[in-house]
A and B are shown apart, each in its own frame.
Chain A
Amino acid sequence: MTCAEIRELFSARVDDALSAEERARLEAHLATCAECPREWQSFERSVALVRGIEPAQASVGFVDRVLAARPRPWYRRLGRSLLVPWPVKLPLEAAAIALVAGLALLIMQGSPELQRAGRAPVTPAPVSTPQAAPPPAATKSEPAQGPRPPSVASPDRQRRYAWPDEAKERASELAPAESRAEQPPASDIRPLPESPRVTAESRAKKADAVETLARQDTERDRAAAAGQAASAPAAPAPAAPPAAASAPAARAMQKSGELRNVTAAAASVQARLAAGDRATAERAVRDLVTRAGGRIVSRADDGDGAVLELAVPADRWDEVKRGLQGLGSLRLDETRGTRTDPRRITLRLER
């Protein structure tokens, strides 16, 4: 083993990391070599000098500085990292605004009342034409349509569900208790929730009767409609649906006192009787009905004929019908009505 090879083992010998064999060879060489023992002493001394260096000391306060620099808890760092940088903060805010807007839209769509409140008020229709001047009649007939609608803040809604005391009084005065709940929806707006007693058929019959009678008094109708409109300027006049067509006639008949009977006549039979002498035929009808135990509920007259509202016991109706057929040409329509007792017959006498 050469001196160079032996000196490669000096570090391991300093650290006592030689194997037994290496140690033996090294010791043997050092015992015989003149230079290597001196080299070993220098080497060992230099290592000892390095190992003798004073340990370094961190400055006073180092621990406190480290503790102060210790990072915040993760949730604080997360909050800060999310909220402080503008590139992150701005999209978050935009997303929040979009979320709120979306929720508002969903709530709006989910609530029909809010949708209606958000619409523009309906333009009032002109009051000069009978078709479009229904407010008084509407307010009168609305009470019969079921539960009173809830009050809402929307002006449009308030107008729709207006419930003037005056109209309420007149409605109760004009409509018999039995038929009050069966008033057709003369309102200008969508139908209110119906009473269970009200059916589409009965509404159709009532509308027919009202229309028929209304034609008898056209001039009075117009005058009355104009008077109603003038006397109630604050009353709303919303757009009129088809159901409002009978309102002027009804209003006119209220004036003449006939509406009470007409609205009460939930006629189950529509009849037309053509006779040569209308007055004679009318007297005969009265006798016929009276003999059968019935009564003339109402009578209306127009230029072309008369309209009688009859109430005949159901078991005598066939007898009355035969009598009517003997008076002239009788056309009957019994298919639209229910078979009530007594039968309600709207009979138009024509020439």
Chain B
Amino acid sequence: MSQSLEPSRFMVALHALPSVLLQSAFFIVPLCMTIALSFQETEFYRVQWVWSLETWTDVFTTRYYWSILWNTILMAIACVIVCAVIGFPVAYALVTRFKRWQTTIKILLVFAFLTDAVLKTFGWVVFLDQTGPANYILSWLGLPSLPDWVLYSKFSALLGMVYTLLPFSIFTIFLSVDMIDRSLLRAAYDCGAGKFRAFWEVTLPLSKSGLMAGALLVFVLSLGSFLEPKVLGGGKNPMAAELIRQTFETRINWPLGSALTIVVISITVITILLASRLLDLRQRGQT
């Protein structure tokens, strides 16, 4: 019998089996169940297996859900903008100014990833509290204390989200800025560009892919933000994830929760598709 180096189809299938099983059990099956659930009705806190469009009609006619979704998207966009505005200079400085401490700073950033989000979020509550360190530092600096609306507001929710998601933004931008060939900047100077012009014409456009990737990551993760709006936002401006949690847990309306989940997933998928298409179009000419 001749032995072929090419693995047989059976062997390929066998090797793929664990992954296929895992993906189906923990991803595809739940997703299908969610979709199926959204077409059921609920009565006296119990799911009625009746196959109807009632839940979806409810979703599309209730303004409240859409205002929360809209609020979620706005918060996510705000988070993306703030993360990019803070992340870009930080990443840029890491590449250009702090080369010597790069490793240390990167390790610290990884620690930021590793620290539990619950801990960090409650940390902010303590920090921003009227009797907390924030006001103590402000008064020590001779500055007026924080107004009492700051904690438990959209502002703090955004602060918490930015704090959690900023490392994603910094890392992706860092990678793209670090990849820029330094001789390109020299070439720009040699062509007659000043520092600002060289940045505008060379560094910024070449960091676009990192900025876009970072923005996409932050946007998608923001859409799912749950802890920060709840803890730091004080539950006054619920975002989509909190609405879904409430629908499942408090209202015990699983079909509605499932439908809302699908809406959020759809927004995420559409965003990713649009962004990858944009990036693809941009890069098609250059590679």
A and B part of one assembly: no
